[in-house]
Structure 1
Amino acid sequence: MDSYEVIADVSRSLVELLRKNLTPEPVAKEELIGLCPPYEAGNYILGLHMYNIEEKKNMGTQRMLNISPGVQKDPPIPLMLYYMLTVYSKTELANRAIDEQRILGRAMQVFHDFSKLKGNPHIEISAIQMSMDDKAKIWSIFNQPYQLSLYYSVGPVYLESDIIRDTKPVVDFKVDIQSK
């Protein structure tokens, strides 16, 4: 697998985590949970959408990595991924709000209980506290009315570099000391 797929891999892992832990209750089938933008939920009951990616230079090393003697690789790019989780309930209007709250409550519980991605213990899932204005701004970007959603940051995720450099090892070292 290519290293550039790390972002997609994290998204797939989050969907798998939700599918495994939210079915058959409160969501009947796994295929009703998936990745989708808020304006295109399709048949999903629970949609996960990545709305932002940020490079975090202060989280990683800026030095070349030694791969083998005489071979170095550029350092990876540390990233934080930002997601929103939204319920698109299809139940009758009288029960829709309760259904949405049950699904969101279980999703919150799952992301809390599994706050480190399996197989990637350094990748943390953290709830984001934001104002109603900020939430409404995110929805307005998609020309959609505000809908109750959960917001999470996931990371750090490291995007590997493909740049590999041959270096010459130090073979001679000369020190010239003069006395006064």
Structure 2
Amino acid sequence: MSTALLAASQSVQAVLLAALQADTALGVLFPPLGASVVSLATPDGMVALDQTGVSIWLYRVVRDEQLLNQPPRRLPPDRLQAVPLPMRLHYLVTPMMRGNAGEPAPETDQHVLGAILRTFHRQPSLSGAALAGSLRGTDQRIRVNLESPPIDELARVWDTLDQPYRASLCYEVSVVEVESDRPDAHGPPVLQSEPGLGQASPLLHPAGALP
């Protein structure tokens, strides 16, 4: 599905918002009690919109080379499904909290950072009801892994933003599958010789299995 990347972002966004709302001290800052948000906008985009909360910015999208050359998936014995494009998504997650007078709030930012770390340490795998958007109701499972990129790479990321550096976290979300729009291929069933017989017979594979 072409909306898989967006759905992965929405899934991370929803899980994090629910965790912040459930936090005893931070819950009053987020809806329905407060005005802070968990946004997919960049940090400078949130500033431009005069928003406080957390920025989850998808700043890099990379193919998973190890899974790229998987063979087609066999559905019924006579049908092959094209393999989806496996992607790894990299996010910069930045608290953008402010005090009552609009000044920076480093203490609250650090509290939010701790809540983010706790959330995805406790729930590093998202599936089932934790999925949102077009991933909802599917059997997909995505992992949310904390990254520690080199400081020069992180500096380059912040250089693209029209904002001073702020304490932030980097997460990789994988594997997100972008499904092919090519029609399924059709062909004869796979044949296998039965033990003790000199002839081949159709071998019926369960859905998703490979010969």
| TM-score category (smaller protein) | 0.7 to 0.9
Residue number among 151, 160, 180 corresponding to 1:132 in the alignment? 151
Q: Quick one: distance in 1 between partners of 2:93 and 2:190?
A: 56
Q: 1:70 to 1:109 in 2, by over 3 A?
A: same
Secondary structure at the aligned position of 1:58 is classed as helix
Deviation per CA, 1:17-57: give whole Å up to 9, x if none: 11111016415224622211122113131111111110112
Displacement of 1:65 = 1.8
Question: Is contact 1:34–1:44 with CA below 8 Å preserved after alignment?
Answer: no
TM-score (norm 2): 0.72
Q: 1:167 to 1:138 in 2, by over 3 A?
A: same
User: Which residue is equivalent to 1:14?
Assistant: 12
Q: 1:113 to 1:170 in 2, by over 3 A?
A: closer
Displacement of 1:95 = 7.3
User: Which residue is equivalent to 1:35?
Assistant: 40
Q: Quick one: distance in 1 between partners of 2:14 and 2:92?
A: 16
Displacement of 1:172 = 9.8
User: Which residue is equivalent to 1:76?
Assistant: 84
Q: Aligned AA for 2:44?
A: Y
User: Which residue is equivalent to 1:178?
Assistant: none
The aligned runs of 1:24-173 (5 Å cut-off) are: 25-27=25-27, 28-30=29-31, 32-41=37-46, 42=49, 43-91=51-99, 92=101, 96-119=105-128, 122-169=141-188
Moved over 4 A (4+): 92-95, 170-173
Q: 1:97 to 1:164 in 2, by over 3 A?
A: same
My pick for the range that moved more, 64-73 or 108-117, is: 64-73
Mark the runs of 5 or more structure 2 residues left unpaired by the alignment.
129-138, 193-197, 199-211
Displacement of 1:89 = 1.2
TM-score (norm 1): 0.83
Displacement of 1:85 = 0.7
Mark the runs of 5 or more structure 1 residues left unpaired by the alignment.
176-180
Displacement of 1:93 = 7.7
Displacement of 1:171 = 9.6
Q: Quick one: distance in 2 between partners of 1:121 and 1:171?
A: 27
Q: Quick one: distance in 1 between partners of 2:116 and 2:69?
A: 34
Q: Aligned AA for 1:80?
A: R
Q: Quick one: distance in 2 between partners of 1:57 and 1:33?
A: 31
My pick for the range that moved more, 59-68 or 103-112, is: 59-68
Displacement of 1:143 = 3.8
